[in-house]
């Protein structure tokens, strides 16, 4: 297994020979402990093609706090490789000093204190400023949206994503792909797609009955004297991770053979000089795909919300990870000549909202979308004395809060909250507004169910979710992070096969081991089953917060992880 030090040395050496990244400039900038917009946007333009990548915005039009994960375990061949490196190990890997702006942007280390100093990040009006700056230098740059855009906020839910459609149209993307978009329902998705001024790409989405492509697979662009093929790859596990009844006539999948065929088609029949995959596979799936399919130059990754300051190379393919929630914009300049990529220069641009000025036009569009809902959005429901965050393989304090609410409000023994990666953070002392609650819960299947489950059923559910996350073959990693659990502790060995990972399941209120034959009252939400009944999860959480007034989340040590 390659060591982290060897990995970094290899990456730097590759950059010196083959291309360059913005990490060096950013590190010097950080060392100065001073940020300006000009410094953040500074870039030594090279080559003849520029790609701009954003992904996993999840309806976040305004600046947010977003804490990066503390635990992100890689299994099998990717153990210890980016993006499965966090905290101080991440800082050491990339040569980043603690306490710097990039340490704040890219890790959880000292998050609260650094958040108070460096402020919120993102905001699509600030993202617009970054994009406009790049386009000023490279007017024909391609802006590519990796999906999970039309989902994840109060206004996105209430407008059926029209708010994000309007704002993104103002940014003028050249193409997008998808995942959570389909939880709007197939009719609404197709209604939006028909009106988009840019292609909605999904090479791996097929009509389930006729086994024919359902959406445009790729688009050919001519930029800088080069032909660029952008192939769209939607999230491949839609009917597993999300309710298939919302898009019953579609089938998805990784479809390696389809991707390989399209790469050949755009190369041989369309004359593409550069092949870009705009992907929502998730990083490890893309890494495996890059190793199996020849001819892909760049994969713009999405879904797993990873933010990496350096590209990861697999053979001749660059993997670019651009984070989430509008925190970052990736710029990739390429030298494309003689039908191939000769070199590159890359920069992961952090969108510090107090440093980068908002674009007035896009700010006005954002305000227009929010105006009808401002009273509801801004209503204060309570306050938090704890850091509220979601990301991490096992625990997040936002989900601890949600589980506490489910147990109390639904009178349950055990609570289950999905391992979603989306949802901004709040720092201690913040008010909790209705907007904040919806940022962590807004979805189209929000029913908070209450049912009885045997201990055996609970074990099967836990094992199934664990395999979706820790199967050593990335092509079988089909979900988000581990399901969050309230009222029950457990031990997990991530090295074991399915059926043997989860042990010592314990009912916390009694300290007794879960009995496989006994029934327990379980509350949860976001069931993919059609007809699930219960109040919407945001109502459950709002009632709980209003009753408590101040939220204090105790440290959660109920999950024991071994083998990592």
**270-325, pLDDT tens digit by residue?**
999 999 999 999 999 999 999 999 999 999 999 999 999 999 999 999 999 999 99
Position 71 in a domain: no
Query: What pLDDT sits at residue 34?
Result: 72
Tokens standing for 250? 């579609």
Residue 381, pLDDT > 80, answer: yes
pLDDT at 377 over 80: yes
- What letter would DSSP give residue 499? T
- Taking residues 212-241, what's their average pLDDT? 97
Q: How many domains does the chain have?
A: 2
Residue 212 domain flag: yes
Question: Do 390 and 259 belong together in one domain?
Answer: no
Statement to judge: residues 163 and 296 lie in one domain: yes
What are the angstrom distances between the C-alpha of 1 and each of 76, 80, 311, 477? 10, 9, 19, 21
Q: What digits encode the pLDDT tens for the residues 346-358?
A: 999 999 999 999 9
Question: What's the pLDDT at 563?
Answer: 84
Flag whether 407 is in a domain.
yes
Q: Are 299 and 317 in contact (CB under 8 A)?
A: yes
**pLDDT attached to residue 449:** 98
Same domain, 157 and 299: yes
Q: What is the CATH number of the domain that holds 449?
A: 3.90.780.10
Q: What does DSSP say about strands 414-419 and 519-525: parallel, antiparallel, or unpaired?
A: parallel
Over residues 445-471, mean pLDDT: 96
Closest-CA residue to 524 (of 382, 419, 438, 391): 419
Q: Are residues 499 and 437 in the same domain?
A: yes
Does position 250 have pLDDT exceeding 60, yes or no? yes
The residue count for the chain:
564
Q: Is 224 exposed, middle or buried (0-12, 13-18, 19+ CB in 10 A)?
A: buried
- Contact between 116 and 148 under an 8 Å Cβ cutoff? The reply is no
The answer to the question of residue 534 being in a domain is yes
**384 in the same domain as 323:** no
Asked whether residue 104 is assigned to any structural domain, the reply reads no
Predicted pLDDT of residue 25: 52
Residues contacting residue 413 through CB under 8 Å, at least 6 positions apart: 407, 487, 488, 507, 509, 520, 521, 522
Which residues fall within 8 angstroms of residue 515, CB to CB, at 6 or more apart? 455
Do 399 and 323 lie in one domain? The reply is no
Q: What is the spatial distance between Cα 229 and Cα 51, in angstroms, rounded to a whole number?
A: 12
Q: Report yes or no on 470 lying in a domain.
A: yes
Q: How confident is the model at residue 19 (pLDDT cuts 50, 70, 90)?
A: low
The share of the chain scoring above pLDDT 70, in percent, equals 94
Which of 339, 368, 397 terminates a domain? The answer is 368
Three-class secondary structure of residue 238 per DSSP: helix
Q: Residue 22: is its pLDDT beyond 90?
A: no
User: In 3-state terms, what secondary structure has residue 390?
Assistant: coil
Q: What distance in Å separates the CA atoms of residue 500 and residue 485, rounded to the nearest whole number?
A: 18
pLDDT at 6: 40
Percentage of the chain modeled with pLDDT above 90: 92
Calculate ∠ Cα 458-462-466, nearest 5°.
170
- 352 and 452 share one domain: no
Task: Identify whether 445 is part of a domain.
Answer: yes
- CATH code, domain carrying 134: 3.60.21.10
User: Which residues are registered as beta bridge partners of 317?
Assistant: 314
Residue 551: predicted pLDDT: 98
Tokens read off for 466: 């664990």
Tell me which residue range forms the domain holding 391: 379-562
The pLDDT value recorded for residue 13 is 35
Q: Are residues 281 and 420 in the same domain?
A: no
Helix axes of 162-171 and 124-137: crossing angle, nearest 10 degrees: 20
- Rounded (10°) angle between helices 434-441 and 397-409: 100
Q: Please state, rounded to an integer, the average pLDDT across all residues of the chain.
A: 93
pLDDT at 278: 99
Structure-token pair, residue 45: 């333009």
CB-based burial label for 46 (10 Å; 0-12, 13-18, 19+):
middle
- Which are the contacts of 257, defined by CB distance < 8 A and separation ≥ 6? none
Q: What is the mean pLDDT of residues 61-70?
A: 97
> What's the pLDDT score for residue 479?
73
Co-location of 418 and 488 in the same domain: yes
Edge-to-edge strands, sheet with 212-213? 212-213, 206-207, 250-251
Residue 256 sits in the same domain as residue 390: no
Write down the H helix ranges in 100-253: 101-106, 111-118, 124-137, 154-158, 162-171, 186-195, 238-241
Which domain-ending residue is among 349, 368, 387? Answer: 368
Please report the pLDDT score of residue 21 as a whole number: 58
In this prediction the pTM is 0.94
Does 478 or 32 have the greater pLDDT score?
Answer: 478
| Cα distance between residue 344 and residue 328, in whole Å | 19
Residues 353 and 397 in one domain: no
- Sequence-distant (6+) residues with CB within 8 A of 35 are 29, 101, 118, 352, 355
pLDDT digits (tens, 9 = 90+) for 481-522: 999 999 999 999 999 999 999 999 999 999 999 999 999 999
Residue 381 in tokens: 């429901």
Which one has a higher pLDDT value, 19 or 288?
Answer: 288
pLDDT of residue 478: 82
- How far is 214 from 206, CA to CA, in rounded Å? 5
| Domain termination residue (choose one: 315, 347, 368) | 368
For the record, the structure tokens of 416 come out as 């289950």
Does residue 395 sit in the same domain as residue 307? no
- The H or E element spanning position 87 is helix 87-94
**CA 555/CA 395 separation, integer angstroms:** 10
Flag the least confident range among 32-36, 61-65, 184-188, 192-196.
32-36
Number of Cβ within a 10 Å radius of residue 110: 13
Question: Is 1 domain-assigned?
Answer: no
């Amino acid at each position: 297994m390659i060591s982290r030090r060897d990995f970094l040395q290899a990456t730097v050496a590759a950059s010196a020979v083959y291309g360059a990244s913005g990490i060096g400039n950013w590190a010097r900038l950080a060392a100065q402990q001073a940020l300006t917009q000009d410094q953040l946007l500074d870039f030594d333009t090279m080559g003849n093609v520029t790609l701009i990548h954003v992904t996993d915005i999840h309806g976040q039009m305004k600046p947010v706090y977003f804490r990066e994960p503390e635990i992100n375990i890689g299994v099998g061949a990717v153990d210890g490789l980016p993006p499965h490196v966090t905290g101080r190990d991440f800082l050491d890997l990339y040569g980043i000093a603690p306490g710097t702006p990039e340490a704040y942007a890219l890790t959880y280390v000292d998050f609260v204190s650094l958040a108070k100093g460096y402020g919120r990040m993102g905001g699509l009006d600030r993202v617009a400023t970054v994009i406009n700056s790049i386009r000023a230098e490279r007017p024909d740059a391609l802006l590519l949206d990796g999906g999970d855009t039309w989902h994840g906020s109060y206004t996105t839910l209430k407008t059926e994503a029209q708010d994000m459609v309007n704002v993104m149209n103002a940014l003028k993307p050249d193409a997008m792909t998808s995942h959570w978009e389909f939880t709007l329902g197939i009719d609404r998705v197709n209604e939006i797609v028909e009106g988009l001024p840019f292609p909605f790409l999904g090479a791996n989405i097929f009509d389930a009955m006729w086994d024919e492509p359902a959406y445009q697979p790729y688009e050919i662009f001519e930029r800088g004297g080069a032909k660029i093929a952008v192939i769209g790859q939607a999230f491949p596990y839609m009917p597993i991770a999300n309710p298939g009844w919302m898009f019953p006539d579609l089938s998805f999948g990784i479809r390696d053979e389809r991707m390989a065929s399209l790469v050949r088609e755009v190369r041989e029949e369309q004359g593409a000089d550069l092949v870009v995959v705009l992907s929502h596979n998730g990083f490890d799936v893309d890494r495996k795909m890059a190793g199996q399919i020849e001819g892909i130059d760049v994969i713009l990754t999405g879904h797993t919300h990873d933010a990496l300051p350096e590209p990861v190379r697999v053979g001749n393919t660059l993997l670019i990870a651009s984070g989430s929630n509008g925190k970052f914009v990736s710029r990739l300049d390429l030298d494309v000549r003689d039908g191939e990529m000769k070199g590159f220069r890359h920069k992961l641009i952090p969108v510090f909202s107090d440093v980068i000025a908002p674009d007035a036009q896009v700010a006005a569009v954002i305000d227009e979308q929010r105006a009808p809902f401002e009273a509801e959005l801004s209503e204060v429901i309570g306050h938090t004395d704890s850091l509220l965050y979601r990301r991490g393989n096992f625990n997040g304090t936002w989900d601890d809060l949600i589980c506490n609410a489910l147990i109390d409000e639904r009178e349950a023994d055990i609570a289950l909250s999905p391992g979603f990666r989306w949802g901004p953070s709040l720092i201690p002392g913040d008010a909790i507004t209705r907007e904040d609650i919806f940022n962590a819960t807004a979805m189209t299947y929000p029913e908070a169910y209450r049912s009885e489950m045997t201990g055996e059923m609970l074990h099967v559910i836990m094992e199934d979710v664990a395999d979706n996350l820790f199967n050593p073959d990335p092509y079988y990693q089909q979900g988000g992070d581990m399901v969050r659990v309230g009222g029950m502790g457990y031990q997990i060995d991530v090295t074991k096969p399915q059926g043997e990972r989860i042990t010592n399941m314990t009912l916390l209120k009694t300290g007794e081991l879960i009995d496989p034959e006994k029934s327990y009252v379980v509350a949860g939400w976001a069931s993919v089953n059609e007809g699930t009944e219960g109040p919407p999860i945001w109502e459950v959480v709002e009632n709980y917060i209003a009753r408590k007034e101040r939220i204090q989340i105790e440290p959660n040590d109920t999950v024991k992880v071994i083998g990592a």
